[in-house]
Amino acid sequence: MKIIRICKAIYCCKADSEKLIEFAENKTQSDSTIKVEPSGCLGACDYAPNIEIVDCQANKRKKYLTVTKGYLMSLIKKLRKAK
Ligand code: FES
């Protein structure tokens, strides 16, 4: 399972992170191995909007900063290939 955590705190919210959440949910709704969830502040507010991807099996997490829909889509594709 991979979890895409999208920051919903104030700075990322102002940078349209809600739209990123909606986009990610739409793109992953048929994929049971990827879950999308809102996150609190990821500590990189200057670079909003930000996300964190958690790899539950490997117990690893990585932040991605200033994420656009295109960037998020490329990350989702990478997650699918890595299965
Ligand atoms: S508000 Fe999103 S990283 Fe701080």
According to DSSP, the residues that pair with 38 across neighbouring strands are 6
What's the pLDDT tens digit per position in 35-66?
Answer: 999 999 999 999 999 999 999 999 999 999 99
The CB of 48 under 6 Å from ligand 1? The reply is: yes
Q: What is the pLDDT of residue 82?
A: 83
Atom index in ligand 1 nearest the CA of residue 41 equals: 4
pLDDT over 90 percentage in the chain: 96
Domain ranges for the chain, please list them: 2-81
- Domain 2-81 is in which class? alpha beta
Residues 72 and 20 sit within 8 Å (Cβ to Cβ) = yes
Question: According to DSSP H, which parts of the chain are helical?
Answer: 10-14, 17-28, 69-81
- Sign, CA dihedral 74-78-81-83, equals negative
What's the pLDDT tens digit per position in 2-12?
Answer: 999 999 999 99
CA count, 13 A, side-chain hemisphere, 50: 18
